[in-house]
Amino acid sequence: MVTAVRRALFLDRDGVINVDIGYLHRPEDCVFVPGIFELVRVARKEHYEVLVVTNQAGIARGYYSEQTFAAFTAWMLEQFVKEGAPITQVYHCPHHPEAGVGPYRVACACRKPAPGMLLQAAADHHIDTHASVMVGDTLSDMQAARAAGVGRLFLLGEGAAACTGTASSGVVHVSDLMQVAAELSSVA
C-alpha cells in the first residue's frame, strides 16, 4: 500500500511561533507572535501538515535540559490545540559545533542551515517538499529549506535584511504571518 504524499508548512520556532527572547524554555516567558494561531488554522484547513523545525542551542550550551525543552514543547502544543490549530510534530536540534557542552558539541546534519530536520520530517510524514512552505526569520532557515527542496520560502520580519542577493532568490519577505496565511489560502 502506498501512502499518499502530503505537503507541509514548516515553521521555525523562536521568532516565528514565539517572540525570540533568547533560549526560551519556560511557559511564563512565552509570548506568541501575532497571527501564529491563525496561520496554523489556515494551514490545517488547506490540508498542510504543520511541522516545527528548531535549533535549540540552549540545550547544547547547558542552559536547559532536553527534558525541560520537552516539557515546554508539550505546553506549547497544548496552547495550539486549545486555539484549534494543532501542530503535527516538533523537530529540534540540540547540538552546537563550537559552543556545545559534552556530547552536544558536534557538527551535525540537523542544525540549520543543514536540512536534516526538514528531511527527517518529510520522510516521517510522507511530505512532498516541493509542494511545501517554510516560514523562518533567519537566513539559516531559508538555507535549510532550500537545501531540503522546499518550494516556497517566506522570511519574516527583520531577518529579511540579512537575506540579500543570491541568498534571497525565491524568498518572499513578509512583515507579518497573515501575509503567509493569505498566500496559503490563495494557492489551495
Active-site residue identified among 14, 29, 124, 137: 14
Q: Residue 35's CB: how many other CB atoms inside 10 A?
A: 16
Q: For 24, which DSSP code?
A: -
Per the structure block, which three cell numbers stand in for 28? 511564563
- 124 classed as catalytic: no
Separation of CA 63 from chain center: 21
What are the helix and strand counts (H, E) for the chain? 6, 6
Active-site residue identified among 12, 20, 29, 124: 12
- 12 classed as catalytic: yes
Phi, psi of 14 (to 5 degrees): -70, 115
So which residues are the catalytic ones? 12, 14
